[in-house]
């Protein structure tokens, strides 16, 4: 199916936008130059090379504040999902605004502590396979909450806490068996998924947990999946959790927290200029209604919705190629730099960094990388303005699950990452060298 580029979509958030070029060496007949905040992307590409990840600090701040403000009527803590993008500078930026963090590994916990050790008390630890070493580290750091996902994990946590002579605050992650329309790889709320415990078994497990001196029952957790754009399943899941909370309190448990997880999606294809604010408001309303009168502290785990549109992957066209009329743009970024299109057939808007007044008729192309796999593509049958070899393209909405999922496949060093704030530019991760990749090998 043909995909059309609108260069970029009119509803795109303002962190990445075209500005008219009125002067300077970059003009050369071009009328529009793509910017991150106030910085032209060609200057960044010239200085730091490509592929290059670029993030807008102002957009990350703005989206966090929008999220926080939408829940102002409810006691809450936003626990940014570190797996979406774990760069230390992004974690520090959010920590300075009082953000909490959702981690799913000991390594992510170490990143949060490196960014701001005091943030430990705002950390929730999720994931189905926590090891003893990870639990011990989290207990010593004094995190807010463990989201426990199985009976076996419950007793391992009790053992770790007992050895450290402390109490582990916990919530059981319950599986509400609520279906959400999303990719099957990122749906988590059905009984067939590996996550959580069946909600019907929760009361018995809470009763067992309350009998362990080293455990402190503190909440209930739920998460039904990612990239969900219909808020109704969130409300349905929270209604089932609210019913469970009432039963647990009747059983004598103190339930302080409900962790609603994350999963709120973003509009990759057709962004609306007012869409994010409206979506978050609708999301807040869907969660608030079932919780009315419960008097709980709500924990939220957004990731993609905060950092996704705040990042772009800048890449250079290495070759133009045609096979029996099929046209390709071979770029220097690849599936190892951003795997979402190859993994999920995910759509990302792609735009030329320089746009001319008379660029000619759009053409139908595949945008592909140099990795030796047919699945190494960013777009198929995409309609784009004609671009020549050495031209720059921006792959948008790459702030979440871009660099976080990057690899060194084909012994390809991972890209530089830069953060832009207004006119200021900061390198937040240097480009790897092949020597960096070989250094740990014996």
pLDDT at 320: 97
* Domains, the chain, ordered by start: 3-56+309-438 (2.40.37.10), 58-306 (3.20.20.10)
Name the active-site residue from 79, 99, 160, 372: 372
> Residue 189: what pLDDT?
39
pLDDT at 5 (0 to 100): 40
pLDDT at residue 275, as a whole number: 82
Could you tell me where the DSSP H helices lie in 23-86? 41-48, 57-70
CB 171 within 8 A of CB 157: no
Low-confidence residues in the chain, pLDDT < 50 = 1-7, 26-27, 182-190
Ranges of H-type helices in 202-252: 202-210, 232-250
Neighbouring C-beta atoms of residue 169, cutoff 10 Å: 20
Would you say the C-alpha torsion 207, 212, 216, 222 has a positive or negative sign?
A: negative
Tokens 């039963």, residue?
247
160 is catalytic: no
Backbone angles phi, psi at 141, to 5 degrees: -75, -20
CB of 210 closer than 8 Å to CB of 203: no
Q: Which residues share a beta bridge with 101? A: 80, 123
pLDDT at 6: 40
Cα 53 to chain center, whole Å?
15
């Amino acid at each position: 199916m043909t995909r059309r580029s609108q260069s970029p979509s009119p509803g795109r958030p303002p962190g990445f936008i075209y500005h008219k070029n009125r002067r300077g060496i970059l003009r050369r007949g071009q009328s529009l130059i793509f910017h991150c905040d106030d910085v032209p992307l060609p200057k960044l590409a010239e200085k730091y090379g490509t592929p290059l990840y670029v993030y807008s600090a102002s957009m990350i701040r703005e989206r966090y504040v929008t999220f926080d403000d939408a829940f102002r009527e409810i006691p809450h803590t936003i626990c940014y999902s570190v797996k979406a993008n774990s760069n230390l500078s992004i974690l520090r930026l959010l920590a300075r605004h009082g953000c909490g963090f959702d981690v799913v590994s000991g390594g992510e916990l170490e990143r949060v502590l490196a960014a701001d050790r005091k943030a430990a008390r705002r950390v929730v630890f999720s994931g189905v396979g926590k090891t003893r070493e990870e639990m011990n580290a989290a207990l010593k750091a004094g995190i807010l909450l463990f989201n426990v996902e199985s009976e076996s994990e419950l007793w391992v946590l009790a053992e770790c806490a007992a050895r450290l002579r402390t109490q582990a605050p916990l919530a059981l992650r319950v599986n509400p068996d609520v279906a959400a329309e999303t990719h099957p790889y990122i749906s988590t709320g059905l009984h067939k998924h590996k996550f959580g415990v069946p909600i019907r078994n929760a009361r018995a497990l809470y009763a067992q947990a309350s009998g362990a001196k080293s455990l402190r029952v503190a909440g209930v957790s739920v998460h039904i999946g990612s990239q969900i754009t219909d808020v109704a399943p969130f409300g349905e899941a929270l209604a089932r959790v609210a019913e469970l909370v009432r039963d647990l309190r009747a059983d004598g448990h103190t339930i302080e927290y409900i962790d609603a997880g994350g999963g709120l999606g973003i509009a990759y294809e057709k962004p609306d200029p007012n869409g994010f604010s409206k979506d978050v408001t609708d999301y807040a309303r869907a969660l608030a209604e079932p919780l009315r009168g419960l008097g709980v502290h709500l924990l939220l785990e957004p990731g993609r919705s905060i950092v996704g549109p705040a990042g772009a992957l800048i890449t250079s066209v290495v070759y133009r190629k045609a096979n029996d009329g099929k046209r390709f743009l071979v770029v220097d970024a690849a599936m190892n730099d951003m795997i979402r299109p190859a993994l999920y057939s995910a759509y990302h808007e792609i735009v030329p960094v320089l746009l001319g007044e008379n660029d000619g008729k759009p053409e139908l192309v595949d945008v592909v990388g140099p990795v030796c796999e047919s699945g190494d593509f960013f777009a198929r049958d995409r309609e784009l303005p004609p671009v020549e070899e050495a031209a720059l393209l921006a792959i948008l909405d790459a702030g979440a699950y871009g660099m976080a999922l990057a690899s060194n496949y084909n012994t390809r060093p991972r890209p530089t990452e830069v953060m832009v704030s207004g006119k200021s530019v900061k390198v937040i991760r240097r480009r790897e060298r092949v020597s960096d990749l070989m250094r740990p090998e014996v």
